[in-house]
Chains A and B, each alone.
Chain A
Amino acid sequence: MWQPSDSFEIPLDAWVEAAIKGWLVPNFREVFQAIQAPISLVLEGFDNGLQAIPMPVFAIVLALVAWRVASRGLAIFTLVSLAVVDLIGVWSQTMTTLAMILTAVLFCALVGVPLGIAAARRDGFEKGIRPVLDIMQTIPPFVYLVPIVMLFGVGMTPGIIATIIFALPPIIRLTNLGIRSVPADLIEAAYAFGSSPRQVLWEVQLPLALRTIMAGLNQTLMLALSMTVIAALIGAGGLGLTVYTGLGRLDVGAATEGGLGIVLLAMILDRITQALGSDATPQSPGLLKTLKSFFRKRAPAAASHG
């Protein structure tokens, strides 16, 4: 039976090769190298910081945050999980992974929230960005690993860039959704009182969309965590590397240790960010306020010692 490819085949692979290797890489390598710089900087900062914090201090602080924003149960779970991670000997890798995740999520938020706002404000932009997001969410990450290596090289930062591409869509989508679902009468009221579009955004739309945006952030965080092993393929470190190395050596034990670390970290981060997003009103006063209230509680105790 004849089929079109018997007579003619589109050399898509050759075209893409030519486009990327022949044009994009030689001409824009510098540009892409420059893009990495801020990401590497932030990553190094997070990594150095997290590695410098003694394990017990970090565990206790995170448990307190969990207690504050969620429940005592989560605080205990956090404490136990972090102890397990340390006991199985992957503490340092966990902190590296955490630094990578935080960097990726930070850049996702920096890029995604403004894009989501723009999409919510302009229907045309939303229409344009939607297929791009669809592609980002459906294309297997392995497809863009190679061009990323060509453009950015191998290492932690390219791994984070791959993670950002993978984890970006939900925060854009949910920011857009959150702002669009702010009731129209509130927007109208804000304008009736003389607000400028910017004031409407900051005074009404963003605060009311915050829950949805937080849900998007949670999704982004989870996606970023699920990329850790794939990112290890192009030279990223942390728990992903432990799993990848275990896989290569058929070392089931090492792979399990890495996997357990990822799962525990994912559960802690998921619960905390979910609690931040879901019951934003009754007990969770936001991260800044939480930290402030810790400070206030400790201040009198410190004073009495002095």
Chain B
Amino acid sequence: MTDKIVAENLSKVFGDDPDEALELIRSGKTKDEVLAQTGQTIGVHSVDFSVAEGEVFVVMGLSGSGKSTLVRMLNRLIDASDGAIYLDGEDVCTANAAALRRLRLEKITMVFQHFALFPHKTVLENVEYGLKIAGVAPDERRDRARAALDKVGLSAWGDSRPAALSGGMQQRVGLARGLAVDPEILLMDEPFSALDPLIRRDMQNELLALQRELKKTIVFITHDLDEALTLGDRIAIMKEGRFVQVGTAEEIVGNPADDYVAAFTQDIDRARVFDAQSVMDVPEALDLDHDDPSTARRRLDDLRRDSLHVLAKGELAGIVTRRSLAQVEGRRGASLGDALQHEAPTARPDTRLSSLYGACRSGLPVAITDDSGEFIGVVTPEAVFDLLAQDNTTPRAPGTPADEHSADAAPALSA
């Protein structure tokens, strides 16, 4: 996949002499020390990352961690103090006013935390704003704005004022406004943070559904790790202007880079982060045509399993257990087929563990099949419990602050 966004050594200092402040922070001083010494605030410093086309890249951090500054540097609402940003290889930081406007008009749009809808314009006028600015003819832009409103399910509200809409609806308008110009990159600055939890969940699901269809490159800012894990293909954890860890949801939760990340992840429902793949065993199976009950029992003993899946000509046919074998073993000429239970639970490799609970209820191992139906592994209920029971938070001595030195001690994974 090609990299849509590349950021190199990106830094932002709020103050008069950024070079001085950057030198200090690179020599190992903390943000607070730099502020005390120079009166300048470090927003972001020395951040490297790249976002692939069609990827949802989530930047997660608490307030003041520099994530809003970071996202604003990508479309240069804030000028970077140091470093470079390339969108499709085009340098954003050195682009002149005309080139920058063209980027904002065509390539990169933004959705804001507090919606930032224009109160004096109707919903439809808000959605068509980007197109109007780009000089698209009124009829065409109205059609495209309607289509965008339709995508977010608000086509009936085009003539209302934003103030007449609820928070969730307003943010849908914000999203439609971002999508109307059909950008390649969508920047979302805590878009769902101002919504209440149920609406937020709805909006997340809706965004995922839209993303499956539209495949935009999305940079999503949030302070909510749950949201980050739900939405992100990759997640960057940000603290004091730097990336502490960058990785997939599973990498972040399964292998936190330091205590700071671990503290975040400890309350996470791991079943919603990990998928079947991560606890999958090798696909041991019997063959319906070649194995008989006696060889089946031998295999079970060898593998120390209580059940095994059975394939017929490469396709999953069912499962045999010690119990079903015992029922047919007494009979003469019994074949493996007689012991076969056809109702074997199956799942996809990317099924979340939380969705596997039902399949695990039977106590049988769950067969994992890929898109073409090929049997690629098994997940045993025990393996699911093992993973859920893992505790990766390193115990801390009581009374010490959680993340005093962790960021310095653990090198950040580069993106």
Q: Which residues of A contact B (CB under 8 A)?
A: 183, 185-186, 188-196, 199, 203-204, 207-208
Q: How far is the CA of A188 from the CA of B177 in the complex (A)?
A: 14
Inter-chain contact B112/A193, CB cutoff 8 Å: no
Q: How far is the CA of A191 from the CA of B116 in the complex (A)?
A: 12
8 A–B contacts, CB within 8 A, in A order: A186-B118, A189-B118, A192-B77, A192-B110, A193-B104, A193-B130, A194-B104, A203-B118
**Smallest CB-CB A-B distances: 8 pairs:** A194-B105, A194-B104, A189-B116, A193-B130, A192-B110, A185-B116, A207-B120, A194-B101
B148 to chain A, nearest CB (A): 13
Inter-chain contact A193/B181, CB cutoff 8 Å: yes
Q: A192-B110, A194-B105, A196-B101 are in contact. Are A204 and B75 (CB under 8 A)?
A: no
Identify the closest chain A residue to B126 (Cβ): A189
Interface flag for B114 (CB, 8 Å): yes
Identify the closest chain B residue to A193 (Cβ): B130
A200 to chain B, nearest CB (A): 9
A112 to chain B, nearest CB (A): 22
Inter-chain contact B112/A185, CB cutoff 8 Å: yes
Q: Which residues of B contact A (CB under 8 A)?
A: 75, 77, 101-106, 109-110, 112, 114, 116, 118-120, 129-130, 132-134, 177, 181, 187
Inter-chain contact A191/B77, CB cutoff 8 Å: yes
Inter-chain contact B133/A203, CB cutoff 8 Å: yes
Q: How far is the CA of A196 from the CA of B104 in the complex (A)?
A: 11
Inter-chain contact B133/A192, CB cutoff 8 Å: no
Inter-chain contact A203/B119, CB cutoff 8 Å: no
Inter-chain contact A189/B112, CB cutoff 8 Å: yes
Q: A192-B77, A192-B110, A194-B102 are in contact. Are A199 and B133 (CB under 8 A)?
A: yes
Q: How far is the CA of A61 from the CA of B130 in the complex (A)?
A: 41
Beyond contacts A185-B112, A189-B110: 10 other A-B pairs, Cβ-Cβ < 8 A, are: A183-B116, A191-B77, A193-B104, A194-B105, A194-B130, A194-B133, A196-B101, A203-B133, A207-B120, A208-B119
B324 to chain A, nearest CB (A): 63
Contacts of A195 in B (CB 8 A): 133
Contacts of B105 in A (CB 8 A): 193-194
Q: How far is the CA of A189 from the CA of B126 in the complex (A)?
A: 11
Contacts of B116 in A (CB 8 A): 183, 185-186, 188-189
Identify the closest chain B residue to A208 (Cβ): B120
Identify the closest chain B residue to A187 (Cβ): B116
Most B CB atoms within 10 A — which of A189, A191, A195, A204?
A189
A143 to chain B, nearest CB (A): 42
Contacts of B112 in A (CB 8 A): 185, 188-189, 192
Identify the closest chain B residue to A186 (Cβ): B116
Inter-chain contact A193/B118, CB cutoff 8 Å: no
Identify the closest chain B residue to A200 (Cβ): B133
Q: How far is the CA of A81 from the CA of B220 in the complex (A)?
A: 63
Inter-chain contact A188/B129, CB cutoff 8 Å: no
Q: How far is the CA of A192 from the CA of B187 in the complex (A)?
A: 10
Q: How far is the CA of A190 from the CA of B132 in the complex (A)?
A: 11
Contacts of B104 in A (CB 8 A): 191-194
Identify the closest chain B residue to A188 (Cβ): B77
Identify the closest chain B residue to A185 (Cβ): B116
Contacts of A204 in B (CB 8 A): 118
Contacts of A188 in B (CB 8 A): 77, 112, 116
B107 to chain A, nearest CB (A): 10
Contacts of A183 in B (CB 8 A): 116
Out of B102, B109, B114, name the residue touching A193 (CB < 8 Å): B109
Inter-chain contact A192/B109, CB cutoff 8 Å: yes
Q: How far is the CA of A132 from the CA of B207 in the complex (A)?
A: 54
Q: How far is the CA of A196 from the CA of B118 in the complex (A)?
A: 16
Contacts of B132 in A (CB 8 A): 203
